[in-house]
Structure formats: structure tokens, C-alpha cells
Amino acid sequence: MAFCRPASNLSLSLRKIRPAALCLLICLALLPSASGAAETNAVIAAFRAMQMIAPRGLIAIVYDVQNQKIIASASDTAARADLFSPGSLMKVPSLLYLLAAGKLSAEYTYHCTGRYYPRGESTLRDELIHEDVREPLAGQWYTCSAAKGHGTVGAAEALAHSCNHYFMSLHALLESAADLRSFAEFCKSYGLAQISRRLLEIANVGALSTRDRLHLSLGLPLRASVYEMTLFFAHLLRDDIAYPVGAAEARRIVLDGMRLAGSIGTARALGFQGKRTLLAKTGSGLLLNSIFKTNGWCVTAWPAHRPRILLVSFVREGYGAGVPLVCSRYFWKILFSISACGVPHSSD
Ligand SMILES: [Zn+2]
């Protein structure tokens, strides 16, 4: 079984590799080239530097959003062929779909206390459960990503802080066969082919467990490749599509949530002191038949107002998004260092 290196070892690796990585990136980035090619060279140099500090199991794609093409990838075969739970990344297409389809009001808020009782509270029982319980009983509850709760959150805040219970509270909007088929069609149009296929299976066969119904928008019963998730975010970020008013507003709210995630939410560790704003979403997807082992995801894009560069990083058995988040932070830090060396990055 392949376990990634713990975070302390990763920090050590960062210190050791930094001089070599910096030499590499400066050599590559300062090659004579046109400004567009210079940015591409800088992105490739930063990506290669990130690979040098990354743990075993990293799968990553860096993508040119405006030209819709891959700039560089790590473990390319696995990125296309291997399927994983998208975890909380699934909150992004779920929210986008529900808002754009008019099924969810942009004004909707949920008060997260940190406890979600699928069958209501009970005087007989008060018990924390995990995702191995398929049919919760009265009095059993799931905890949220913030144990004490996120308080009252709207759509953008729920995305920024990855409030599981906000999304669980929407489960009824994605339960009928008609809703699932409509969501499947939407996912397919955004490049989420495997997820679309699975949603159609669920629509046709029906009868998901209570756990899986509650966790649909949290990605638990779904599988996607890293490439597929990259296509989704690349489609979301491109700004050359004329959306109907409702879909444009849905996109604005989702991107606002990703901007908040990168500054005050789950990806705030990116921390660039407000000089450069990144869009971000983190996720951790449970391994099949496991309730404590998770794969980690981190999606980042820049510049926030009109993204040109998208990085999707994924680490097998990363125990959450921490390791891919560290890798992503390193990528952007190197890229912005190159910018400081004089390679043009026209705008933040
Ligand atoms: Zn919450």
C-alpha cells in the first residue's frame, strides 16, 4: 500500500530542493521567447519544480484556460484512466447546476451547528456516526468539516468553507430520476463523463442508501478521473461563453466561493498576502470501502478575475487536501517568483 510522506518530511524536501528547483526554473524561464511562450515556459518550470518536492502518488495537470489545452501533466496515464471519489470538489458542479437550473435560490442559507441528524434527534440516542453507516437511525448524526459548525452560510460561504451540512441539506433537490437525469446531462456538458454515467445509472436503478443520497453532492457515491475534473474546472473558468442570465449569476456565485476559499476558506494556506488572488477548491475523497483513508484534491487558478492558468493536483491517500495544497502553494510561489525575476505576468 503506497502511503505518502508525512508533512514534516515534505517540508524537509522543500528546503533541500529549493536551490535546485530555482536554478531549473530560472534557466527555463529566461529562455528567449515571446511573452506568451515565456509565461508557458515559466508555468512548465514551476510545475517541474513542484514535481520535485511532491510525494509519490501525485497526479497533476496544469492547464491553459483561455486556449483550453494541457500545458504539463504528472502521471498522465493515471490522470486519464484512474477513477477516484471527487469528494468536496463535487460541491462545485452541484452548486453550479442547482443555481443555474433555478432549483436553488441564491438567497438560501443554512445554519450549520456541526451536527446533521438525517433522521432527527432522539431521546434514546445521541451518537456520532461516519460514512460506513448506510442507514442512520434517529439520534445519530454526522459531523461537519468544522466540528462546532460553520454558523449560517449562504452558497459562496458554504463553498469557501466546504460546509458539508449545507450541501447535505440540498439532497432532496437531486433525488428524483428526472433531477438526476438533468444533472447528468449538465455534468456531461462540462466534461464530467464518468460522473454523468453514474448519475444516469442511479436515475435508472434508483434506491441509493440514505448515506449516499445525503452525500451525492459531496461526491461519495461518484467517481471521476483527474483529467475529467480538470475539464470541468477549465470549462467553468473560460470566459468566452455567453451564458443565459441565470447561469451567468450561478457562475459568479461559484467563482466568488472559490475566491473566498483561496483567501479565508479551506485553501487560505495558499496565503499570498492579498497581492495575488487565487481561486481554489479543496477536496478529500474517501477510498472505496474505507471511512478514514482519503485521497486529497486541490484545484487552484489564477488570476482570479480572468483565470489563465488552472492547476489540478491530487495525491493518493493524502489524508485530506493538505499535501496537494502544499504542492499547489509551492507551484504558485515558484511561478510568482519567476514573475518577480522579470518574466511578464501582465495582470493579477
Ligand atoms: Zn458546516
313 falls within a domain: yes
* Distance from C-alpha of 179 to C-alpha of 243, rounded to nearest angstrom: 21
Residue 41 has pLDDT above 70, yes or no: yes
Write the DSSP assignment of 194-244 as a string of letters.
HHHHHHHHHHHH----HHHHHTGGGTTT--B-HHHHHHHHHHHH-------
CA of 308 relative to ligand 1 center, distance in Å: 31
Residue 118 lies in a domain: yes
Tell me the CA–centroid distance for residue 305 and ligand 1, in Å.
27
For residues 341 and 128, give the distance between their C-alpha atoms in angstroms, rounded to a whole number. 52
Cα–Cα distance between 37 and 40 in angstroms, integer? 5
Those residues whose C-beta lies under 8 Å from the C-beta of residue 55, and which sit 6 or more positions away, are 4, 5, 10, 315, 318, 323
What's residue 287's pLDDT?
A: 73
Strand (E) or helix (H) holding 177? helix 177-189
Ligand 1 centroid vs 302 CA: distance in angstroms? Answer: 27
Helix (H, G, I), strand (E, B) or coil at 314: strand
**Domain at 116, CATH number:** 3.40.710.10
Ligand 1: centre distance to CA 170 (Å): 13
Sign for the pseudo-dihedral over CA of 197, 201, 206, 207: negative
* 11 belongs to a structural domain: no
Ligand 1 mean position, distance from CA 286 (Å):
18
Question: What average pLDDT does the structure give for the chain?
Answer: 87
In this predicted structure, which of 22-26, 195-199, 238-242, 305-309 has the lowest mean pLDDT?
Answer: 22-26
What tens digit of pLDDT does each residue of 210-260 get?
A: 989 999 999 988 999 999 999 999 999 998 888 888 899 999 999 999 999
CA 94 – ligand 1 centroid, Å: 16
Question: What is this structure's pTM?
Answer: 0.88
Distance 116 CA to ligand 1 centre (A): 9
Starting at the edge strand found earlier in the chain, the sheet holding 127-128 runs 115-116, 140-143, 127-128
Q: Compute the Cα dihedral for 101, 103, 107, 113 and give only its sign.
A: negative
pLDDT computed for residue 133 by the predictor: 85
Ligand 1 mean position, distance from CA 166 (Å): 6
Q: Is the per-residue pLDDT at 5 higher than 70?
A: no
d(CA 252, CA 304): 12
Each residue's pLDDT tens digit, 112-149: 999 999 999 999 999 998 888 889 999 999 999 888 99
Quickly count: other Cβ atoms within 10 Å of residue 276's Cβ. 18
Q: What average pLDDT does the segment 64-87 reach? A: 95
Nearest to 247 by CA among 106, 140, 141, 110: 106
How far does the centroid of ligand 1 lie from the alpha carbon of residue 115, in Å? Answer: 8
| Total number of domains constituting the chain | 1
In whole angstroms, give the CA distance from residue 297 to residue 281: 8
Q: What nine digits make up the cell of 126?
A: 445521541
Identify whether 123 is part of a domain: yes
| Grid cell listed for 280 | 481554489
CA of 113 to the centre of ligand 1 (A): 7
**Three-state SS annotation for 56-86:** CCEEEEEEECCCCEEEEEECHHHHHHCCECC
Is 44's pLDDT higher than 90? Answer: yes
- 2 lies in some domain: no
- Give the pLDDT confidence score for residue 273 in this predicted structure: 58
Does residue 301 contact residue 307 with C-beta atoms inside 8 Å? yes
1 within some domain: no
- Please report the DSSP string for 272-302 in residue order: -TTTS--EEEEEEEEPTT-SS-EEEEEEEEE
Tens of pLDDT, residues 142-170 = 999 888 999 999 999 999 999 999 999 99
**Which residue range(s) make up the domain with 127?**
16-340
Distance CA 110, CA 165 (A): 8
Distance 148 CA to ligand 1 centre (A): 8
Could you count the other beta carbons within 10 Å of the beta carbon of residue 192? 26
Tens digits of residue pLDDT in 294-347 = 889 999 999 999 999 999 999 988 778 889 999 999 999 999 988 776 554 544
